[in-house]
Amino acid sequence: MARRKGQLKLGAFLYPTGHHVAAWRHPEAQADAGANFSHYVQLAQAAEAAKFDLIFMADGVGTRSDNHRYLSRTAHSYVAQFEPITLLSALAAVTQRIGFVATASTSFNEPFHIARKFASLDNISGGRAGWNLVTSSSEHEALNFNRERHFDHAERYQRAAEFAQVVTGLWDSWEDGALQRDKASGLYFDPARRHVLNHKGRFFQVKGPLNVPRSPQGHPVIVQAGSSPAGKALAAETAEVIFTAQQTLDDAVAFYADVKGRLAQHGRQPDDLKIMPGVFPVVGRSESEAQEKFEQLQSLIHPEVGLALISGLTGGVDLSAYPLDGPIPELPETNASKSRQQLTLELARREKLSLRELYLRVAGARGHWQLVGTASQIADQLEERFVNHGADGYNIMPPVLPTGLTDFIELVLPELRRRGLFRTEYEGRTLRENLGLHRPRNRYQSPETAALATLAA
Ligand SMILES: Cc1cc2nc3c(=O)[nH]c(=O)nc-3n(C[C@H](O)[C@H](O)[C@H](O)COP(=O)(O)O)c2cc1C
């Protein structure tokens, strides 16, 4: 049954020069974007003026390749750019309403660090922070953290589950109102409302409490982006937003039903988790203008970059020895991202694509959902997936920045608004209020005092 009209949630997924793999070479691109703070100020303020729910900054803790020939031709693969929590903290100072989601890895961090940094960002921004919990799929990142190789897939999800328990436990260190800072009595905080975690588990031993107060939205929104069975299981237990990559309506609807269906076993309601697939929109004033824009970007892909990209998406095997116009070779399943590997190989086999055709197909959106067309054609697709329960909103992945974001704002948003699918004003002040997520109750607080605290906050 199609859902009644409602409002989409929208994220602006900012990849420095844009999501297209050749974006940095485009005449409209800000080529030094990765390390250009005023570029991000401009984007954040534009996204906020357009009433986006959030800005999302993905992250990799290290460059994701050793292939210098490829790296020297790309602004992707985290080759040279800001660390996102630092960047978003600075952007919090020049914005008032928009939310900030940053990726942080459970494989290459300690839970105390993550709890502390995101709680700080949440307080600095007045309750607008979100943590995209990832287990990291790149072997290269492991080499920066005293390891010879990455944890295997199952173990990194076991570690992630315990990691999330510790982080949320630490975020409950302070009950609402615990820090009274009463100058007259001399009592800085109420000792009965500060809690020591004393966690001892398989991976972590963390005493606590956290030395950052509770934020106006209780704690940061937890986002998850893994789509393997282990990823979905973790999301059902912990996540409040899922970022995902689905190519077709059928896949999106199946993913949506699968993940939402897992919530009840954790005592959660379907609305407690928002599903926001990535969309790579190339918008034109006419269909042919959109197609030209896309072709211009495609023509900028160097074969070295295209091949390295599909090698990454299909499990990390070096494909440069295979003929560019030949079929995809048989590839072993590796320790990298399972869901993305499957998605990419299925596409190649289904459509009998050569290596060159495959990289031209996926290079743009890197496996995400690609829409090339007019504002109304793009709005049709976004609406269809939304009303058929394939998405609660979208993470917009502009092909080139800043113009890809401005095109979406100026052309597609008015169309979505005309259809009653997107807000004209923010509903609230915190990221939770705008996403329609409830404020989490501190585990040590009774429902009654928590309700009072929510009213006060
Ligand atoms: C929209 C989206 C954003 C993602 N962002 C990141 C990221 O910033 N850093 C990262 O290491 N992985 C990122 N991932 C990858 C996933 O978190 C996950 O590691 C990957 O899909 C492998 O997990 P799986 O095997 O459970 O699918 C992202 C995935 C999606 C769909």
Q: What is the CATH number of the domain that holds 433?
A: 3.20.20.30
Q: What is the dihedral of CA 154, 156, 161, 163, to 10 degrees?
A: 160
Task: Please report whether residue 295 resides in a domain.
Answer: no
C-alpha distances out from residue 341 to 55, 227, 347, Å? 27, 11, 10
Instruction: Band the pLDDT of 349: cuts 50, 70, 90.
Output: confident
For residue 128, how many C-alpha atoms fall within 13 Å in the half-sphere facing its CB? 27
pLDDT at 108: 97
Task: Pick the closest to residue 305 from 81, 60, 71, 29 (CA basis).
Answer: 71
pLDDT, mean of residues 180-186: 97
Q: Based on the domain organization, do 150 and 106 belong to the same domain?
A: yes
- Domain identity same for 243 and 338: no
Distance CA 197, CA 442 (A): 13
Residues 246, 159: one domain?
Answer: yes
Q: How far does the centroid of ligand 1 lie from the alpha carbon of residue 425, in Å?
A: 30
243 and 285 part of one domain: yes
Region of residue 51 (phi > 0: left; psi between -120 and 50: alpha; otherwise: beta): left
Do 308 and 420 lie in a common domain? Answer: no
pLDDT digits (tens, 9 = 90+) for 131-161: 999 999 888 999 999 999 999 999 999 999 9
Query: Which residues have C-beta within 8 Å of that of residue 266, sequence separation ≥ 6?
Result: 236, 237
Is the separation of the CB atoms in 347 and 328 below 8 Å?
A: no
- Which tens digits make up the pLDDT trace of 97-118? 999 999 999 999 999 999 999 9
Residue 168 lies in a domain: yes
Query: Looking at the structure, do residues 165 and 311 belong to the same domain, yes or no?
Result: no
* 134/95 same-domain check: yes
User: Residues near ligand 1 with C-beta < 6 Å?
Assistant: 58-60, 103, 134-137, 225-228, 230-231, 243-245, 278, 337-340, 395
Mean pLDDT over 17-36 rounds to 96
In a domain, 297, yes or no: no
pTM over cut 0.85 = yes
- Of 108-122, 278-292, 359-373, least confident by mean pLDDT is 359-373
Alpha-carbon distance 59 to 263, whole Å? 27
Residue 454 has pLDDT above 70, yes or no: no
Same domain, 423 and 382: yes
pLDDT value at 337 more than 70: no
Domain count, the chain: 2
DSSP-assigned states of every residue in 49-86: HTT-SEEEE---SS-S---HHHHTT-S-TTSS---HHH
Domain of 405? 9-290+367-456
Tell me whether residue 1 is in a domain: no
Q: Is residue 26 domain-shared with residue 89, that is, in the same domain?
A: yes
How far is ligand 1, taken at its centre, from the CA of residue 226, in Å?
A: 5
Based on the domain organization, do 313 and 413 belong to the same domain?
A: no
Q: How big is the CA angle at 199 (ends 196 and 202), to the nearest 5 degrees?
A: 175
